[in-house]
Amino acid sequence: MTTTTKPLRFNKLDRLLTMRYLKSHKEPAKRIFVRLFEPYIDLFQFSSEEDKYESIASLFITFGTSMLLNRHIDKKDIDVSINMDYMLMYGIVDHYIDSKNISTEEKENRMTIIKNILYLDIKPAVMTKAVQILYDIYQKYKHNDVVIKYIRKAFEGEYFSYKVQYAEHTYEMYKKACGMKGSTMYCLHKVMNGLELNEKWDYNVGYLGQLLDDISDVDADNKNGINTMATYILKRDGYLDVLFYEILNEIAEFPDDDYTLYRATMTMLNYYIVNESSHFTDSLKLKVLPYSLLKPGLKINQLLGKSLCDMIYQN
């Protein structure tokens, strides 16, 4: 893969369509999120104010993009209760199981509890709030074979990623873990909403979303001894330029219509991460800057997370 390709210009039509989707719902997404998420604010543990803002922003982005995808594909109002179920599932996977605040032993214990629910339909003797939510969601969807299949796949992807990230592996293994973790959660969202899956493109959307997340977290993951595709490339090359081009080339292949939204948002995030990270070369930063929609130094997740927390805690 070449690293001298001229960066893709941000497609103007993609940008206009994305802004239209953002404005298409009668109730602003932030207000819907705050209204629905407020009862669950104490579900997650945060190591610092910065961690809290990042986590809340991540949950909102998951919820918000779910809303946008529904509008984009179905051209109709969304069922926010389904997307809330999905967001809580994502939150439990990404913040309850994969929390940096718990020991490996505790992670294994939580995995066992979840496996008992998802595969044996066993109600745990002790119910924490997170386990209760997971159990209730499982009961709600357990007669829908397709949804249950992808709920299980989501946890299998998380478990595989968890096992891989604490040992030294090959590039192919880290790429597989990245793809499994990202794609299974994305596919879960689609089947929960009754949307048709496209095996190739939906896998790529989830994989690229997870890869962007891994690049953003590369410093924290290195600090905590977590191995990902991004930490592997950084150790191998000393910088992450090759991942920028890989993401760019994959995005360029997305078909029109159903993937316009993701082509637009991932292009924007790819440029943004290059400007914000210290792990891309200066030459790439200069090449990308004219195409960026977001100003360097704009800490989106921190600003968004603080804004959401202000709304949540003032209610």
2 occurs within a structural domain: no
pLDDT digits (tens, 9 = 90+) for 288-313: 887 776 666 667 677 777 888 888 87
Range with lowest mean pLDDT among 22-36, 46-60, 249-263: 22-36
> For 132-136, what is the mean pLDDT?
90
**Residue 3 binned pLDDT confidence (cut-offs 50, 70, 90):** very low
| Residue scoring higher pLDDT (15 or 121) | 121
270 occurs within a structural domain: yes
Query: Contact, 83 vs 69, CB < 8 A?
Result: no
Query: Contact, 186 vs 210, CB < 8 A?
Result: no
Give the CATH number, domain containing residue 152.
Answer: 1.10.600
What pLDDT is stored for residue 1 in this prediction?
43
**Residue 170 binned pLDDT confidence (cut-offs 50, 70, 90):** very high
Q: Is the pLDDT of residue 4 over 50?
A: no
4 occurs within a structural domain: no
Please give the biggest Cα pair distance in the chain. 58
CB atoms within 10 A of CB 294: 14
Helix, strand or coil for residue 154?
Answer: helix
> What would the two tokens of residue 117 be?
């629910």
128 occurs within a structural domain: yes
Query: Contact, 114 vs 134, CB < 8 A?
Result: yes
Distance, CA of 191 to CA of 150 (rounded, Å): 8
What pLDDT is stored for residue 71 in this prediction?
52
1 occurs within a structural domain: no
Distance, CA of 177 to CA of 210 (rounded, Å): 10
Query: Contact, 203 vs 230, CB < 8 A?
Result: no
Residue 15's contacts (CB-CB under 8 Å, 6 or more residues apart) are 264, 293
| Residue scoring higher pLDDT (50 or 144) | 144
Rounded to the nearest integer, the mean pLDDT of the chain is 81
What pLDDT is stored for residue 16 in this prediction?
59
6 occurs within a structural domain: no
State how far Cα 282 lies from the chain centre.
27
Helix, strand or coil for residue 131?
Answer: helix
The range of the structural domain enclosing residue 226 comes to 12-314
* Whole-model pTM over 0.85: no
22 occurs within a structural domain: yes
5 occurs within a structural domain: no
Residue 312's contacts (CB-CB under 8 Å, 6 or more residues apart) are 34, 37, 38, 41, 56
**Residue 279 binned pLDDT confidence (cut-offs 50, 70, 90):** very high
Domain count, the chain: 1
> What would the two tokens of residue 289 be?
């800057």
The residue type at 272: Y
Range with lowest mean pLDDT among 158-162, 211-215, 264-268: 264-268
